[in-house]
Chains A and B, each alone.
Chain A
Amino acid sequence: MNDPGFAFWGLYLAFGLIVAGYLLWMWWVER
């Protein structure tokens, strides 16, 4: 948890997942 690589890239990965989730939701609403 305190590894810099984990803390650093984990944040960017989490953001990527949120964007992916949003895209999925958008597709689901408009399909």
Chain B
Amino acid sequence: MATRVTIFVAYFLVVFAIGWLSLRATRDERDYWIAGGKLGWLVGGATLAATHVSAGTFIGTIGVMYTAGWSFGWVVLSIPLGYWFMAAVLAPRFTRVRELTLPAFMETRYYDRRVRALAAVIILIATVVYIQAQIVAGGLVANVAFGVPVTWGMVAFTAILLVYTVVGGMIAVVYTDFFQLAVMVLGVLAAVPLALRQVGGLDALFDTVQAVKPGVFHFDGGLPPSLLFTMALAFMLGSVATPEKLTRLYAMRDMRTIRRGILLTIILATGINLLVFILSLVAITLFPALPTGDLAMPMIAQSVLPTLVGTLVLAAVTAAMMSTVDSLLIVAGSALSHDIYQTIIDPHANPSTRVWIGRAGVIVVGCVPVLLLLTGIGRGELVQFIVLLFTALMASSFFVPVVLGVYWRRATREGAITAMLGGVTLTFLWKLFGVPTVDPVLPGFLASASLMIAVSLVTPEPPARALEPYFGARSN
């Protein structure tokens, strides 16, 4: 227990130290929301990877693979393809104008403040759900690591996250992400060989895992193919169109930096997933009858690995969770204070007041998820499925307006509004009433794309001022 407490305390002290240093580096809103837009590829790529890898990866992905088998692994290959699309197709035009937030982009391109407000509201609602899933996983880790009740763990993690995110803003987020990514990589690299040794190496693992769960390597063994394909679509569109990832394009220096940063993201985000998969096979072998797949990772950390490495793995899960939630806090906080409060309610605040309003926004969006959880709202489902729902919501509301926004001159304000509303509505309806073997991203995305195209074509063309920034004659 002493080792465990020491490692976690040291870890949190580093995070707080970075938060404090970032406070001094944060001078204005640009620093607070996009780290001044000056990140290099190493920190930029690392923060994108750390944001991508969430508790969903360490708890959820293992959980799904534990339940459904290896075929889920192929879904993950959609992640690098999504990022490649982001670097090659989207980023060159999207970053022509460096905004601070995704809703700000929506206002510039769709020439209407209401589009911005709508985007901000969608982000706020979806983010709350996502943060909930992550801190529930955090509570689970605290429970396994220190034996404290899950609720205490959730409250404690929220408090820790809020301290450094509120104080240091995006600068604190990107540098803590860099550190937390190192913790994740270290944890996984230490855990995989040791876990493999426990089961007698790869060949022995293949044999035992197939004896315990015969269909594990079959394509038709676990999840239905239609679900696998649509989940892959969700991951791919979600890698591109989630606001916490898009704002990182604004945070990086230029296109050359973005291309290199995204290469790093591809290698690390996908690589961590691919290594974690091996642990799920180990879990199937050693703990074939867990009540929920989400327990597979904590069980390995607790009972299979030596204390030091086990603790490192729990720290890695914590790092995955915190580095995702801090970015979501920035995105939701900016939606609340930059896009809603400062744009609509009080547009004339001076620069330093704006940073403080930003901090207040982050505190509000940080407290809501945990308060909802304390009242019992939002507990339940496998972590990975909540992650997928969030991804589906983001993909079906933002992918089409963002990508067509910078590639199709004819895309109009009315088209964007109906695309966002239609995409979100259908995603929710499908989740509640649709066929469970098709991920809601497919109907959501199709609704959003068809509404965007149909409505844009029957509404007046966009004004020149909205198109000039993205289509004007300028090389990037």
Contact = CB atoms under 8 A, between A and B. Distances in A.
Interface of A: 1-5, 7-8, 11-12, 14-15, 18-19, 21-23, 25-26, 29-30
Interface residues of B, number: 27
Interface in B51-86: 70, 73-74, 77, 80-81, 84
Contact of A3 (B216, B217, B271): B217
B259 interface: yes
A11 B266 CA distance: 15
B128 to A, nearest CB: 33
A7 B259 CA distance: 30
A19 B80 contact: yes
A4 B270 contact: no
B20 interface: no
8 contacts: A4-B210, A4-B216, A8-B206, A18-B77, A18-B266, A22-B87, A23-B263, A25-B88
B80 A12 contact: no
Contacts of A21: 84
B219 interface: yes
Contact of A18 (B80, B206, B216, B219): B80
A12 B274 contact: yes
B88 A14 contact: no
Contacts of B70: 7-8, 11
A31 to B, nearest CB: 13
B429 interface: no
A11 B88 contact: no
A2 B219 CA distance: 7
Interface in B71-109: 73-74, 77, 80-81, 84, 87-88
Given A2-B219, A3-B217, A8-B206, A22 B263 contact: yes
Contact of A11 (B73, B219, B259): B73
Contacts of A23: 263
Given A22-B80, A26-B259, A2 B218 contact: yes
A11 B84 contact: no
Nearest to A1: B219
A19 B206 contact: no
Nearest to A18: B80
Given A12-B274, A18-B81, A22-B263, A5 B206 contact: yes
A11 B84 CA distance: 18
Interface in B247-262: 256, 259-260
Give 9 nearest A-B pairs by CB, closest first. Answer: A7-B217, A4-B206, A4-B217, A18-B80, A2-B218, A11-B73, A7-B70, A26-B259, A22-B84
Contacts of B256: 30
Given A14-B77, A25-B88, A19 B217 contact: no
B172 to A, nearest CB: 30
Given A14-B77, A30-B256, 13 more contacts: A4-B206, A4-B210, A8-B70, A8-B206, A11-B274, A11-B277, A15-B274, A18-B77, A18-B80, A21-B84, A22-B266, A23-B263, A26-B263
